[in-house]
Chains A and B, each alone.
Chain A
């Protein structure tokens, strides 16, 4: 008989947005009031059945949900071991899970009466998803993106521009996602009266980690229903990549109380954990404060945030959502990493065996799943969150193989 991992119920975060010692609101005073307003409008929306009905309708007819749960028979056979099932977030409108959250937050922006949207983006998926909902709702949209990421994700930059967004290159610091987040926070401080900041991950100050989780939890709710319908039971293992960790939390959250379902988050191992050139704060970082919350960070001994490395721009972040920090400490989820090379091998294997080109971020999850599945019996079920599609990455992959498109 399955029993709950949390007999008293899973109860995080608390009213102040803390996941035990993680999370919180570590921001400059100017942002406290907008965060209070956001928390209030979100609490109010949570109680409003019409809000969730409208959200579900947009997910169904605009995003194209539910996304399929697909048994990757050929990939599983090629790999050996457990059955690998893919939660096909890559089939969503705009090509990734990010749209689930931007649809929800844009509805809140409307509700709170803000007319200007800002966002940070790494791989560009969240930027595209934000530009998309902004275009649809007639909201002005500004996206901050590290200049290095602009270089490696050119197609997404152009998509954002087509959608009417202004893409502002960020040239400070390491010129990647963390610096884009800094710049978005600076913009918000300057324009707090009319601006709504759509954060793309389960990071940032409270209430973002909780709110983004709740919008992304549709992934896990669907997967939980689908796997029981299609395979007749709950899965043995869930696998997702973890940068900030929104697709992982989205998949994990509805299963947290199912104690027989194991969970595995896969961080970006870059050139290898021992080289220091990676983006795996849960594996090699320690607790600190960045971007409004307390969590595991990649930092030096003096508390300066380190530059990270990953082949995938969306995982190239030195922090991680505070709820993952908690799940790691509780032992409820496990975390591992996949190197650039391992992710690329998984990218090619999935492409060639199933005809599905995954995003490089999602390829990390596939790599983690392949390895875990090899050690499991053939009737075991592994559900992998295929969080995004790889069209945006084909340039990067080609370049690594010495080709220019």
Chain B
């Protein structure tokens, strides 16, 4: 069983929804990332998404764009992100780690070299925002060869036929983009999300996470009613960036979200 599947199995057993924080690797500087990842785990993260900085993050809102720019100012490359993953993994054998980013840095490295080195660094899954299933064959075989989960996005605009198709292709978990927009945007329409999640659940055998637009304990709690995992990115990146003590700020936000999620779990809403 993959580390991701194992973690979701444990959580299910315990009746809990996963808290999945996102950080852009190398933001605000390269040596900040690994200590922050350990802090996230101590503060209640069940799984971590580590963003690979890219010069043209077209699906990201202003907060993560700025994080990418800060990381790139230190010339953080995919290779460096894999080193960070390996360093994290050397002290934490349990917490699943997913790389999230864009296709071009992976293509530039070479997909086979990337998959081999990612697996060796202890990465568990890969989510490439601009590789929808049609274009994913570019990396699929390499991910399979090295035992990496291939995580896909589902969007409010995804048709039921595509949901079925993507559910058949994805491994690890599915990530429902809960709003029309970029990361960190807008407010969630929970009724709409609930409707879509119902449809996704009829096709999905994998756990389903909800992300984009989760900001606080309230929105996390609402998402937790519907999902197996709640992803928080921009709110966390923003909080860390603004704080004098990033570790304290990250811990505070995650504990807050954790409390919201667990409260939702106790009301019996989570599947």
Contact = CB atoms under 8 A, between A and B. Distances in A.
Do A and B associate with each other? yes
B199 interface: no
Contacts of A185: 58-59
B129 A289 contact: no
Contacts of A189: 59, 180-182
Contact of A28 (B55, B134, B153): B153
Contacts of B56: 173, 178-179, 182, 290-291, 305
B169 to A, nearest CB: 12
Contact of A303 (B105, B130, B132): B105
A169 B224 CA distance: 38
B130 A292 contact: yes
Contacts, number: 122
Contacts of B58: 28, 181-182, 185-186, 291
Contacts of B61: 186
A297 B108 CA distance: 11
Nearest to A26: B130
Contacts of A50: none
Nearest to A297: B104
A302 B78 contact: yes
A28 B135 contact: no
Contact of A186 (B59, B132, B157): B59
A270 to B, nearest CB: 19
- Sorted from nearest, which 9 A-B pairs have the closest CB atoms? A303-B108, A303-B105, A302-B77, A30-B155, A33-B157, A190-B181, A29-B153, A28-B59, A29-B155
B98 interface: no
Interface residues of B, number: 44
A273 interface: no
Nearest to B72: A304
B158 interface: yes
Contact of B134 (A24, A34, A291): A24
Given A33-B157, A33-B158, A34-B157, A303 B181 contact: no
A324 interface: no
Contacts of B55: 173, 304-305
Interface string B160-188: 00100000000000000100111001100
Interface string A140-181: 000000000000000000000000000000001100001101
Contacts of B155: 28-30, 32-33
Nearest to B212: A30
A289 B130 contact: yes
B131 A26 contact: yes
Contact of A305 (B104, B135, B182): B104
B54 interface: yes
Contact of A30 (B103, B156, B159): B156
A181 B58 CA distance: 9
A193 interface: yes
Interface residues of A, number: 38
B152 A303 contact: no
A244 to B, nearest CB: 15
A291 B108 CA distance: 16
B79 interface: yes
Nearest to A182: B58
Contacts of B157: 29-34, 192
A291 B55 CA distance: 12
Contacts of A25: 132, 134-135
Contact of B108 (A16, A178, A179, A301): A301
Given A28-B153, A30-B155, A289-B130, A193 B79 contact: no
B154 interface: yes
Interface in B94-116: 102-109
Most central of B78, B105, B106 by chain A CB within 10 Å:
B105
20 contacts: A25-B132, A25-B134, A26-B103, A28-B58, A28-B155, A29-B152, A29-B153, A30-B155, A30-B156, A32-B162, A33-B155, A33-B159, A178-B56, A192-B180, A289-B130, A303-B54, A303-B108, A304-B55, A305-B56, A305-B104
B69 interface: yes
B158 A29 contact: yes
A147 to B, nearest CB: 15
B65 interface: yes
Interface in B111-157: 129-132, 134-135, 152-157
Contacts of B102: 289
